[in-house]
Structure formats: structure tokens, C-alpha cells
Amino acid sequence: MKELFVADLANYENQVITGFFAVSSRYDRSKRDGARYFALTLADRTGQMEARMWETAEAGEFASGDVVKVRGQVCRYKEFLQLNIEKIRKANPGEFDLGDYVPRTDREIDELWAELNVYVESFTDPHLKALLRAFLDDSELAAALREAPAAKSMHHAWIGGLLEHIVSLLGIADLAAKHYGVHRDLLLTGVVLHDIGKLQELRWGTGFEYTIEGQLLGHITIGIGLIERKIAAIPGFPPGLRMLVEHLVLSHHGKYEFGSPKLPMIPEAVLLHYLDDIDAKMQTLRSEFARHATAGRAAGEVTDWVRSLERPLLDTTPFLGMDQNGRPEPQEARPDLKEDAANGVSAED
């Protein structure tokens, strides 16, 4: 049973620890004198940490994707925690439980799956409902959808991430459809199917990688193929409706430079693109704040530069009297309230 997690390492600064971690990435590099060293990213279900092994003589054989046993010192480099490894070897099969090393959604998969099905059952368009049921009732695709990450390393990059992203989008798309008066069932169909090709674009184990099909075709092309095969098996599916559904998938990246074969040209496609982008960006913010905390840095400090958003970030919760889960902090944790109490001022004043 794993006892030491990445999220715990901030408590062991300047100490030598021994533990098991998954190797998210491994790069063999050279020092200025030509000596070899390893630049690693170690991970488990609680987060990631950079690691270096400066003397490689004590290294056993291991590769990216392996679970390894390491001994090293937790130190700080450029304000971030880093593990300087003294020894490393590939873990034996009986030494670890894979579930400890793969990041997973905090939501219950069964709960997310039930929410998805409630939305689909609320459809009034019989053809769109039949199309989504063709996916959700396909045991192989359904099993993949319950597990798939939404990305290799960007937003929702964890087991169940794609399903979590879809259900989150369904909630805001449902509201947006009513607010803007667009075709609700068409927009929600786009939400469910826009990334469906990722079920075959990605593979997942201790990490997330692209399949050969994913590298050569990409999830948009794969998704269109899946949709066309399902529609072909539905009697009387209107050709015009098929065209609209496919346009939603083809255009959801929004711009040619973002890998979109087409620009969004219908109201539902414009909404899908921007809602998808908003949900992805908001999850990126949450993930960056969590990474900031895991690295041992205080909430309320500006983060490092976030490449995907082209800016640093600031978590507002310390300034608003909330914890990082968005819940009000206990009054004893609020120095401003302590000061008020000392001065005879109540919270109700």
C-alpha cells in the first residue's frame, strides 16, 4: 500500500525519503562536463514533481510509464520542490497498486454516467437521441468513455476526465441554449460527441499517450468516422441533421490555427466552441492552483507563467475568505475576524 504521495512531499523539505512513483517522463541529458544525468517527472494520483538524478551509477533499468522505487532528498529549486534522487529501480508488480499512480476524477464515475444519461433521455429530437444512445449503449465505447482522459496533459488529463468535461459542459450548454434560444438537443449532441474521437486517439495506463491512429488522424477525424458509422445504422436519419452534427465536431476548435478543419458557422457551433474553451480554461486554473499548492507555495501568491494561458494566475480565494474548495473558512482561520472579535465587533455588525 502506497504511504507517501506527491502531495505529501512539501512536508519533507530537506529530508531524504523513500517511496514509489510513476515516471511520467524521462530525459537523458548531459552536464557541462559530459557526464550523464536524468531529468524526470514523477507522479501519482495526487500530482507531479520534477526530479533529477545527477549520478546515474545507482540507476536500474526503467522507462517512462514505469512505476519506480526511489530514494532521494526533497529540496527546492527556483521556489518549486524537486526530488534529487540517489537510487532508483523499477518496482516489482506486487509492490504497487496501479490505482495509486493514475490521476482520477474526484467525481464518482457512476454519478457522472447517470447525469449524462439523464440529459440524453430529456431529448425531444428522436434522431439525435437515437444517435447518442447508439454510443452510450455500445459496451466497448461506453467502457472507454467512462475511463478516458480529456487530454494527454492539458485540461481534465485524468481517468474519467473526458466524462467529467462532458457533464460539466452539458450543464452550462443547457443554460446557454435556453438563454440564446438555440436548438438545445443539437448543441447538447455536440457537447457529447465533440471529443468522442479521443476514445481512440489516446491510450491510458500509468500515463497518457497518443495511439498511432491518434498521431496520424487526430480525434476530430476519428470522431467523424465514429459518428458516420453510427448514423448509417439509424434508419431515416436526416442528411441535413447529419451535416449539422458533423459541423459541430469539425469546427469545435474554433480556429484553423487551433487545428479546426472548419470555422463555426452555425449558432450551436459558435456556442460549443466557446463553452468548450471556457470549461477547459477553468479546469486549467484549478489544476494550476493545485500544482502551486503541491509545490509547497502559499495560496495568494502569483503562480509561475502558465504556457497554455500565456499568463501567470492568482487564486482569489485567500482574499475572499474561502478555502481552496470554495467553502467559507472557519472563523478561527480568519485573522480579520479574530481582530474584529478582539475589538468587540461581531460578524453580524
CATH number, domain containing residue 221: 1.10.3210
Pair (133, 268) in one structural domain: yes
Can you state the angle between helices 184-193 and 267-294, rounded to 10 degrees? 40
Q: How far apart are CA 83 and CA 72, in angstroms?
A: 6
Pair (189, 245) in one structural domain: yes
Looking at the domain assignment, is residue 191 inside a domain? yes
Query: What pLDDT was estimated at residue 245?
Result: 98
Buried b (16+ CB within 10 A) or exposed e, 249-282: bbbbbbeeeeebebebebebbbbbbebbeebbee
Q: Are 293 and 282 in contact (CB under 8 A)?
A: no
Q: What is the CA radius of gyration of the chain?
A: 24
The residue-averaged pLDDT of 263-280 equals 96
Decide: pTM greater than 0.85.
no
> Where a domain ends, among 225, 254, 284?
284
- Write out the residue range of the structural domain in which residue 169 sits: 109-284
The residue-averaged pLDDT of 2-12 equals 88
Amino acid of residue 177:
A
Looking at the domain assignment, is residue 203 inside a domain? yes
Query: What pLDDT was estimated at residue 305?
Result: 82
Please give the tally of structural domains in the chain. 2
Looking at the domain assignment, is residue 157 inside a domain? yes
- Counting residues of the chain whose pLDDT is more than 90, the rounded percentage is 51
C-alpha dist (Å) from residue 307 to 29, 271, 285, 342, 345: 23, 25, 12, 45, 45
What letter would DSSP give residue 6? G
Pair (32, 84) in one structural domain: yes
Pair (40, 186) in one structural domain: no
Q: How far apart are CA 314 and CA 270, in angstroms?
A: 29
With 70 as the cut, is the pLDDT of residue 337 above it? no
- Is pLDDT larger for residue 239 or for residue 334? 239
Query: What pLDDT was estimated at residue 347?
Result: 35
> Where a domain ends, among 284, 307, 336?
284
